[in-house]
Amino acid sequence: MSALMNTYARANIDIVRGEGCWLYDQDGRDYLDLAAGVAVNTLGHGDPRLVQALKTQADILWHASNLYRLPAQEALATKLTDATFADRVFFANSGAEAVEAAIKTARRWQGAKGRPERYRVLTFGNAFHGRTLATISATDQMKVREGFTPLYDAFDTTPFNDIEGAARAITPQTAAILVEPIQGEGGLTPATPGFLAGLRALCDQHDLLLILDEVQTGIGRTGHLFAHELYGVRPDIIAVAKGLGGGFPIGACLATEDAASGMTPGSHGSTYGGNPLACAVASAVLDAVLAPGFLETVRERAALVDALLQRLLRRHSDLFVRAQGHGLMRGLQVRASARDVVAHLRDFGVMTVAAGADVVRLLPPLTISELEIAEAEARLLRAAEAWLPIAA
């Protein structure tokens, strides 16, 4: 029996090593990693640039706390603000903390404007924002809430991709709108362009802040540094994590100067937030993703993955219903339990992730090669041919 708390339905394999887009188990079996640690391993496993950045920083300074200025943290913040709409960054250690920081930032902004009664945040059906008590309160999915009620009554939920519903849900107590540009855990549903643009317009009209949860969509995943660039919608605040550290834990809340104006000394903090090791690795991730040609290559690879998925859908309409998503963030809706299909694909040497009840997510490292995409297709086809519907 494991000494770990029983919070995950883990597959019965030990992952002992990773290299590039490949994972290896205790028996030396290889798996093409189209999960990338749930959109985390941006540059795959063991990228020499990240290993070097970590080793170099390990010799310099591990931790000193936010009682002082830390050059590694200042450097990463500047890289992030230079590359985005944002002027200010708060560093955390995870996605949920980045979302929490975003919510706190929005509430302080309303408070500083003399409107403390505006504290509620509008969220959407099937959203996912993390597992802390506040972020599960922002998530209307039963599976994350069950057993944890009563939750924090500061969120209003309205259907995703329904702009009229969102307009109706705004009240004199609304402070901000929090939304994923592409719902990750909820089933890989992209926001329609009109929906995101409409939310921006609602925020402008009602003096609300637009918070985008880019924890999963960020850091090149969609073929753009952030998904809001793909949509051409300007946020006030974004939450970032997963891909930022390429496997080293870090989260960040990015905001405009105005949106961050309520966050004064003492208003928020995190002991580990902006840890020098995390910042050094994240800086190396950003350098790679922002290097000339990198995101163009991601978009080219994404087109190959898209073509692969279209062929798979045509050949195996018995198993696959449709594909959706952007860039290297793709979902395959299946005519079966997503968990069963993920386990089946793993038996054929491909790692994927379930999203919701019937969507299988493909989130490969952004560095996946053309050859590896071809190998993925071969393995997915073999798996699809061997699929026997359990219900039949």
Ligand X SMILES: *Cc1c(COP(=O)(O)O)cnc(C)c1O
**Interface positions with ligand X (CB under 6 A):** 94-96, 99, 128-130, 180, 184-185, 213, 215-216, 241-242
Query: 216 vs 367, which CB is nearer to ligand X?
Result: 216
Query: 128 vs 387, which CB is nearer to ligand X?
Result: 128
Q: Beta strand 155-158 with 88-92: parallel, antiparallel or unpaired?
A: unpaired
The distance of closest approach from Cβ of residue 307 to ligand X in the complex, given in angstroms and rounded to an integer, is 26
- Write the Ramachandran bin of 176: left for phi over 0, alpha for psi from -120 to 50, otherwise beta: beta
Residues 91 and 73: beta-carbon distance below 8 Å: yes
Cα–Cα distance for residue pair 6/9, rounded to 1 Å = 8
The catalytic residue positions are: 128, 213, 242
The distance of closest approach from Cβ of residue 249 to ligand X in the complex, given in angstroms and rounded to an integer, is 8
Query: 163 vs 178, which CB is nearer to ligand X?
Result: 178
Cα–Cα distance for residue pair 228/197, rounded to 1 Å = 10
Nearest-CB residue to ligand X?
95
The distance of closest approach from Cβ of residue 177 to ligand X in the complex, given in angstroms and rounded to an integer, is 15
CA angle 99, 90, 246 (to 5 degrees): 75
The distance of closest approach from Cβ of residue 271 to ligand X in the complex, given in angstroms and rounded to an integer, is 17
Cα–Cα distance for residue pair 154/142, rounded to 1 Å = 17
Alpha-helical runs (H) found in 35-94: 36-39, 48-60, 71-83
Query: 213 vs 358, which CB is nearer to ligand X?
Result: 213
Query: 185 vs 372, which CB is nearer to ligand X?
Result: 185
Backbone angles phi, psi at 180, to 5 degrees: -85, 130
Nearest to 323 by CA among 352, 359, 274, 371: 359
The distance of closest approach from Cβ of residue 311 to ligand X in the complex, given in angstroms and rounded to an integer, is 28
The residues, any chain, with a CB within 8 Å of residue 291's CB and separated by 6 or more, are none
